[in-house]
Amino acid sequence: MKLLRTVALDPSDTFVFDPAAEPGEWAVSGAFRFWGDDPDTLQGKARSAFRSGFLGLKSWGWSTLVEIVEVTDSDRAGVIELLAQQLVDRLGAPDLATARQAAEEEVSFAESLCNEATGALIAVHRTAKDGEVRENFRALRSRGTSRHQRAFAFLEVEDDDQPVDDVDLASIMVERERK
């Protein structure tokens, strides 16, 4: 069984989101946080969270990327309890039993996103059209054998049949410095 944990490859989330999630937190999509909001009126960091944030469950902050991790039944149950308690404390769910049902649905949805290998990173892009929120998830896979060290060591893969554009940012910078 797999679930999602927040990951920070650089400090950019601290500039993009308010608040930013701490690395290593359990995470869910978090789109429910925008229920009742008009996405067209969101601005600044709230707009960024709507467009590209995963919700960290402990801090109630946002993360651009999440990592797929293996979990035990006990871990999964703990994630559901943490989210249920947050739904009561932060969003006013009427009771823990009701919140637990909603948390189970959110965690099951997060689980459904984990069909890549353990360690793969997932990103989200949210849009709203005609009152409907749509989420598009994509996997980021490491180009090499090393784990997540730098944000630019990853290749975005949406469809394996599409050609890959390989951009070497380091070489571009060296060329610019020579000119």
pTM of whole model > 0.85?
no
What mean pLDDT comes out for the span 35-58? 94
pLDDT band at 163 (very low <50, low <70, confident <90, very high): very low
Tell me which of 112 and 168 has the higher pLDDT. Answer: 112
Q: What is the DSSP string of 108-153?
A: HHHHHT--S-TT-EEEEEEEEETTEEEEEEEEEEESSSS-S--GGG
Range of the domain at 84: 2-178
Name, in order, each residue with C-beta under 8 angstroms of 156's C-beta and a sequence gap of 6 or more.
123, 138, 140
Closest CA to 21 of 67, 57, 47, 71: 57
Domain count, the chain: 1
What count of Cα atoms within 13 Å lies in the side-chain half-sphere of residue 26?
A: 22
pLDDT band at 164 (very low <50, low <70, confident <90, very high): very low
Reading the block at residue 112, the tokens are 């459904």
Lowest mean pLDDT among 3-12, 105-114, 122-131, 154-163: 154-163
